[in-house]
């Protein structure tokens, strides 16, 4: 977490804005005391990780059961 003062907000918001763009949370300090947090707004689209989405095809309830097939090794 980055730290900035009220004066930094007023005089150097461009630098703080770049921190927010990178996803940093900024702790705002006034006279040595924590008064607020600036938190970046989440983007509109959720991040999707490969393999973590639900399947569009329903799976059978007995997916963990062995198949009802007799195997012969000839």
Residue 74 in 3-state DSSP?
coil
d(CA 16, CA 26): 8
Residue 73 confidence (pLDDT): 79
In Å, what is the CA distance from 63 to each residue of 52, 60, 70?
Answer: 19, 6, 18
Radius of gyration of the chain (CA): 26
pLDDT in tens, 1-16: 899 999 999 999 999 9
For the record, the structure tokens of 51 come out as: 């393999």
Query: What pTM did the predictor assign?
Result: 0.56
* Domain ranges across the chain: 2-38
Segment 23-34, tens digit of pLDDT: 899 999 999 999
- H/E element, 4: strand 2-5
- The CATH architecture that domain 2-38 belongs to is 3-Layer(aba) Sandwich (3.40)
Task: Encode pLDDT of 28-72 as tens digits.
Answer: 999 999 999 999 987 776 666 666 667 777 877 887 888 778 878
């Amino acid at each position: 977490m980055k730290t900035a003062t009220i004066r930094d907000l007023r005089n150097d918001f461009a630098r703080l804005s770049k921190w927010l763009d990178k996803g940093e949370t900024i702790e705002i300090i006034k006279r040595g005391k924590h008064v607020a947090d600036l938190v970046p707004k989440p983007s509109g689209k959720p991040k999707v990780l490969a393999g973590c989405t639900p399947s569009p095809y329903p799976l059978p309830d007995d997916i963990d059961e062995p198949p009802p097939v007799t195997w012969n090794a000839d």
